[in-house]
Amino acid sequence: MRSVQRWWVRLLPLQLVLMMGAIGLAAGVLGAMTIILVRGSFKTAPLPGAPGAESPPSVGAVFTPEVQHWVPKILEWSKEYGVDPNILATVIQIESCGDFMAGSGAGAQGLFQVMPFHFQDGEDPHDPDTNAKRGIEYLIGGLRRADGHVGLAMAGYNGGWGVIDVGWGGWYRETRLYYIWGTQIYLDAIHGKTPAQSAALQSWLNAGGINLCRQAAARLATPTPGTPQPTLQIIPLSQ
């Protein structure tokens, strides 16, 4: 009996080490699960200016005709600011559907729906290049704060950078929807889906985006008689 006790005492340090290791492993797993639950499933993009941040050469087919109208400019802005063009197209889709004269009741303006206080004196908020500059600057700030997490950057673009670290439970419904639509439309873009194949885009259209796109289509329509107008294919989602 005494020999068993002696061995127990001798092995006590090893037991403590094993116990501390088990506790540390459990804490690590719990911490990782907490981050996933709070921050959502990670989808990251190369940060602007970081190694490997070269942008894809094209914009996905998932975007509506009004957004596709801006593809040459989107690719130009993507190269200039080092941001994936599909992220830029996703923001334009949700914010204005390509209407460069769009405005909101809160005062946001233009393609990227930029708030007035982001512009400098004398800048035209409806000039596409100026609007893109200010909108993309804010988007880049969100991407950097979110470590390239596209969904969190989208949430930050809608609700302000402060929501990035708050987590899903502290967001308004509008920001939650923006996160869902933004992430999924972006994923559908890089996976080559069409508008009809994207449940997220159809959800956004059915939630009121269709009216924004009709306004954009009217704005972008040429006065030439007989010119085909942009068309949208809307598939109602099952309840």
The overall pTM is greater than 0.95 = no
Give SS3 for 171: coil
Dump pLDDT digits (tens) for 87-98.
Answer: 999 999 999 999
Q: Which two tokens stand for residue 89?
A: 């197209």
Residue ranges covered by each domain of the chain: 65-220
How does residue 119 score in pLDDT terms, banded at 50, 70 and 90?
Answer: confident
Q: Catalytic residue among 54, 95, 123, 137, which?
A: 95
Determine the average pLDDT of the residues in 116-137.
92
Residue 236 has pLDDT above 90, yes or no: no
Residue 6 has pLDDT above 80, yes or no: no
80 among known catalytic residues: no
pLDDT given for residue 97 in this prediction: 97
CATH class of 65-220: mainly alpha
The closest alpha carbon to 102, from 149, 142, 139, 66, belongs to 66
